[in-house]
Amino acid sequence: MPKDLNTKNTALVLIDFQEKLFPAMYDKDKLLRNVVKLIRGAKVLEIPIILTEQYPKGLGPTIPEIKSLIPDIKPVEKVCFNCCDDDLFCTALDGLKRKQLLIAGIEAHICVYQTAIALVGAGYDVQVVGDCVASREPENKVTALSRMVGEGVSLTTVEMALFELLKEAKGDEFKQISKIVK
């Protein structure tokens, strides 16, 4: 059973939001709006972020709308669909000492799915942010989310995750998060 998210034990994993892949995503404008909110909220709450890029030589770098929000984060370049099959990713994740993971990324039915399942298998509490994942075809996303839930991944949304991390409707962080989600 997943525990409530908390800022001391949660990290955000952003998977493959890349220039040659992103334009092909179904409902990409809504996806981008939600991912931007998630990143901005994570920064307010000081949640560490890991960014991956799948074969950047072929798929290009992270899209500027996302990279500009996290300019100091060096992407983990990979060729494995499952991020956990990449040593640099595993080293970065281990270094965070966090056991609760929020995952956003593309494509839902390939890299996000394989990574989420592997992380659950490795003992992490994994929540996929459903409004921050996409595939080229909506059926692939729906199937991936269904299979992930069946294999122990929890689903959340940007607002659910940010307010669960926030805990209270008071203070500067609450004001900042409220502005972000509007």
Q: Model confidence over 140-153: pLDDT tens digits? A: 999 999 999 999 99
Is 28 domain-assigned? yes
Answer whether residue 3 is part of any domain. no
| 4 within some domain | no
Residue 9 pLDDT > 70, yes or no? yes
In a domain, 5, yes or no: no
| 117: phi then psi, degrees, rounded to nearest 5 | -65, -45
Closest by alpha carbon to 159, among 29, 75, 38, 66? 38
In a domain, 145, yes or no: yes
* Structural domain for 86, as ranges: 10-181
The verdict on residue 65 lying in a domain is yes
CATH of the domain at 93: 3.40.50.850
Q: What is the pLDDT of residue 73?
A: 97
- pLDDT, tens digit (0-9, with 9 covering 90-100), for 72-126: 999 999 999 999 999 999 999 999 999 999 999 999 999 999 999 999 999 999 9
pLDDT category at 2 given cuts 50, 70, 90 is low
Q: Is the pLDDT at 64 greater than 70, yes or no?
A: yes
Cα–Cα separations (whole angstroms), residue 130 to 34, 65, 67, 86, 150: 10, 20, 21, 24, 15
Domain count, the chain: 1
Q: Is residue 1 part of a domain?
A: no
Tell me the CA distances in angstroms from 177 to 29, 94, 100, 123, 164, one per residue in order.
21, 28, 20, 29, 11
DSSP 117-153: HHHHHTT-EEEEEEEEEE-SSHHHHHHHHHHHHHTT-
- Supply the mean pLDDT for the chain: 97
Rounded to two decimals, the pTM is: 0.97
Per-residue model confidence as pLDDT tens digits over 28-54: 999 999 999 999 999 999 999 999 999
Strand duo 154-156 + 125-134: pairing? parallel
> Does the pLDDT at position 127 exceed 60?
yes
Residue 73 covered by a domain: yes
